[in-house]
Amino acid sequence: MIDIASRFLDIKNFQNAWQKVAENRGCAGVDGETIDIFARNQIVNIYQLLNAVANSTYQPCPCKQVIIPKKM
């Protein structure tokens, strides 16, 4: 039986997540890295992210704050 950590850390899981982000065409985060910049080295970037998560060294950047005005 495969444990949940092994299923989560499967490279296909990270590749599928990247595909969804790329299709969504979201904006850059607080680090300024755009989808196009990430895509230039996507294989290396995905493996670096996977290794950081697997080794408990991943440190996410803070979320980008967006103020949404209230409708009156």
The residue extents of the domains of the chain are 4-54
> Average of pLDDT values for 30-44?
91
Selection from 10, 22, 21 nearest residue 47 by Cα: 10
Cα–Cα distance for residue pair 13/43, rounded to 1 Å = 13
Cα–Cα distance for residue pair 31/35, rounded to 1 Å = 12
User: DSSP label at 48?
Assistant: H
Predicted pLDDT of residue 2: 66
**Residues ≥6 apart with Cβ < 8 Å to 21:** 35
Predicted pLDDT of residue 65: 80
Q: What predicted TM-score, i.e. pTM, was given to this entire model?
A: 0.75
Predicted pLDDT of residue 67: 86
